[in-house]
């Protein structure tokens, strides 16, 4: 009998956006089915469209995703062998409630950024308390980088070290063509793929660009360098 897996994602699906996470979800859905598991996906909100046609999706329709999942399990008398979460808080009371339901193996994947200046003292104390109270209910904590892994432990306590690992986001480089360029003769180009917010370090890139000789930078795009250069 195949094991049932619930994958809970604080994420919204809509056809106008098919990004890296969507492609990851699709590849994971295919891989987990090949391994003999039965995945059911729970999203914050989901508009059905072709890209996700092979998925078994439950949508919270914009309501609280954690409450929706617990209520859905109770209403339908459902139990899962494995529960995996994305973009939820790494440690919370929610996981204690999930563990009550047939004691599934729980994996939390932490993609969430942290404030550059750190959390305020009140938040730090709350996180440490959560780590002590609820950390035991999560079987595996996965950070998408070593940086994230370190912050999980800093936030919730080093007693979680033995169950915390790093698994980097995958990048398919098979279609990339390697090029060797003479940087003295070619302009420097940057491509940034991220949300334009401070936690992504965009301001650091702009500051670095301001220190580069503008004659060597974005030679094909003179208007762009003019727009982003500090006055």
Average pLDDT over residues 103-116: 91
In the sheet that holds 57-59, the strands lie side by side as: 57-59, 38-46, 4-13, 82-86, 105-110, 140-143, 164-166
pTM of the full structure: 0.80
To the nearest 5 percent, what fractions of the chain are helix, strand and coil? Answer: 40, 20, 40
What pLDDT does residue 229 have?
44
The pair of three-digit structure tokens given for residue 179, joined into one six-digit string: 């090029």
pLDDT tens by residue, 158-215:
999 999 999 987 766 677 777 776 666 666 677 777 777 776 777 888 888 788 776 6
Least confident of 9-18, 73-82, 123-132, 220-229: 220-229
Distance CA 166, CA 172 (A): 18
Vertex 197, ends 192 and 199: CA angle to 5°? 95
pLDDT at 30 over 90: yes
Q: 61 pLDDT band (50/70/90 cuts)?
A: very high
pLDDT at 121 over 90: yes
The pair of three-digit structure tokens given for residue 75, joined into one six-digit string: 């209403």
The answer as to CATH 3.40.50.2000 being correct for domain 4-166 is yes
Would you kindly state where each structural domain of the chain is located, as residue ranges?
A: 4-166, 179-231
What pLDDT does residue 223 have?
46
Q: What is the DSSP string of 92-122?
A: -HHHHHHHHTT--EEEEEE-----TT---HH
Residues 6+ apart with CB under 8 A from 5: 32, 37, 38, 39, 40, 80, 81, 82, 83, 84
């Amino acid at each position: 009998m195949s094991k049932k897996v619930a994958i809970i994602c604080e994420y919204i699906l809509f056809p106008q956006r098919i990004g890296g996470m969507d492609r990851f979800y699709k590849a994971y859905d295919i891989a987990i089915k090949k391994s003999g598991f039965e995945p059911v996906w729970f999203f914050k909100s989901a508009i059905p469209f072709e890209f996700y046609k092979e998925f078994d999706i439950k949508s919270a329709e914009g309501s609280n995703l954690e409450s929706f999942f617990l209520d859905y399990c109770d209403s339908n008398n459902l139990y899962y062998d494995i529960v995996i979460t994305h973009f939820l808080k790494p440690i919370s009371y929610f996981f204690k409630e999930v563990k009550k339901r047939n004691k599934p193996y729980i994996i939390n994947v932490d993609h969430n950024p942290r404030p550059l200046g750190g959390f305020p003292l009140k938040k730090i104390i709350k996180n440490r308390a959560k780590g002590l109270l609820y950390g035991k209910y999560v079987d595996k904590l996965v950070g998408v980088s070593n940086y994230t892994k370190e912050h999980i432990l800093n936030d919730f306590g080093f007693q979680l070290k033995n169950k915390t690992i790093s698994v980097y986001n995958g990048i398919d480089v098979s279609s990339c063509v390697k090029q060797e360029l003479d940087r003295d003769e070619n302009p420097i180009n940057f491509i940034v793929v991220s949300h334009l917010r401070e936690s992504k370090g965009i301001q650091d890139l702009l500051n670095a660009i301001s220190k580069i000789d503008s004659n060597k930078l974005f030679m094909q795009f003179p208007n762009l360098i003019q727009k982003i250069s500090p006055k």
